[in-house]
Chains A and B, each alone.
Chain A
C-alpha cells in the first residue's frame, strides 16, 4: 500500500487533536482518534513507502504485528469512499 488522498467528496475537521472525516453531503461522520488518526495522516502523506512501514516506524511496532490491522483499516476507508489511491 502506497499513498492515498482524501476523495473529492471527503471533508476533514481537526478538533482538539482528534480528526473527524465525512463524505459530503451525505455523511456519516467518522471519528479518527488515537492510532486511527495517525494511520489516516500517514496514509495521506505523499510517500512511496508502504503505509504499514511508516506507521510501524512512528509507533515502534513490528510491521508484521500490525500489517493486517493497518491494511484492513485503510481498506475500510477506501471502501467507504473516504480515501482514494494517489494517482501515479
Chain B
C-alpha cells in the first residue's frame, strides 16, 4: 500500500475526482451535472476516453456555493471565469489528490439563458455510478449534444465524438438530439462541429464558430468574438478586454505570481504578436504562392 501521487493513473484520479465533487455538492445541497470525461455514457464513447480533468455544469444560482464548498474541502482556485477561457464559461480548481475540476456556469454554444438551459438538462438527468458514487448526469441525447458542442471548440480534435454520437446515431436519436439543440438554441455551434455551418452565414455568431472550429489567429478569434456579441455594449466590453493581460495564464506560464513589470512586458508583447499575426495573414493572402507537393 502506498500514497504515491505519481503511481495513480489519471483515469483513476479522474473517477475519484467526479465522485469527490458529487459528495461535496450533495452535502451542500448544490445541483450540478457531471459532463464529459468519465461521466460520458459508454454507449456514446465506447473507447472510454476520460479526458484530462473533471467537468461539471452547475446550476447558475449555485456557483457561489460550489466555489465556497470546494475551497473549504481543499480545492484551490486555478483560473477564473474571467481569465479561464475566452468564453468565460468555466472556472478551474486544483486539488492535490483529484487534480483539476472545471466548474461550468454555462456551456459555450448554448444560447438559451443559462438558468433555463440548466433546468432543461437537469430535468432529464439520471444517476451514473462513478467510483461507487451516484453522480448526476444529463440524458444520453443531452450528453451527445454537449460532446458535439465541445467538439466545435476543439478544431478537429474531437472529431471522433461527432462521428460516434451524431453521424452514426439512428434516426430516433438524431431526432432527439435535433430537438434538444433547438430547445437549447445551440444550432450554430452544433453545425460548426456536425456540418452545415454555412446555413448560418447571417447569424452574428457565425464567424466566431467558424474561427473556433476551423482554427485561426488569436486576433481573428477576438475580432469574431466582438462581432458575435449580442449587444453593442457587450461588444465594447469584449473589445476593452482583448488587450488586457490574462494574469492567470501568465502566472501559470511563469510558475509564480507575476510582478507589475511582468504584466507590463506582457501588455506590450501581446499587441506586437497580434500585429505580426496580421502581417503574416496578409502575406499569405497576397504574397507569392507556395508550391504544395
Contacts and interface: CB of A to CB of B under 8 A. Distances in A.
Interface of A: 9, 11-13, 15-16, 20, 22, 24-33, 36, 73, 76
A20 B16 contact: yes
A11 B132 contact: yes
Contacts of B74: 25-27
Nearest to B75: A25
B11 A30 contact: no
Interface in B1-42: 1-5, 7-9, 11-13, 15-16, 19-21, 23-24
A2 B209 CA distance: 61
Given A22-B97, A25-B23, A30 B15 contact: no
B98 interface: yes
A26 B24 CA distance: 10
A62 B4 CA distance: 30
Interface residues of B, number: 27
Given A11-B131, A13-B132, A30-B2, 10 more contacts: A11-B20, A11-B133, A15-B12, A22-B97, A25-B73, A27-B16, A27-B97, A29-B12, A29-B97, A31-B8
B96 interface: yes
9 contacts: A9-B23, A22-B20, A24-B16, A24-B133, A25-B20, A29-B3, A31-B8, A36-B1, A76-B1
A13 B97 contact: no
A25 B24 contact: yes
Contacts, number: 71
Contacts of A32: 1
Given A11-B133, A26-B74, A31-B1, A20 B12 contact: yes
B23 to A, nearest CB: 5
B62 interface: no
B159 interface: no
Contact of B19 (A24, A31, A33, A73): A24
A31 B3 contact: yes
Contacts of B1: 30-33, 36, 73, 76
A28 B15 CA distance: 14
Contacts of B111: none
Nearest to B21: A25
Contact of A22 (B9, B16, B21, B24): B16
B2 A13 contact: no
A26 B19 CA distance: 11
A11 B132 CA distance: 6
Contacts of A24: 16, 19-20, 23, 131, 133
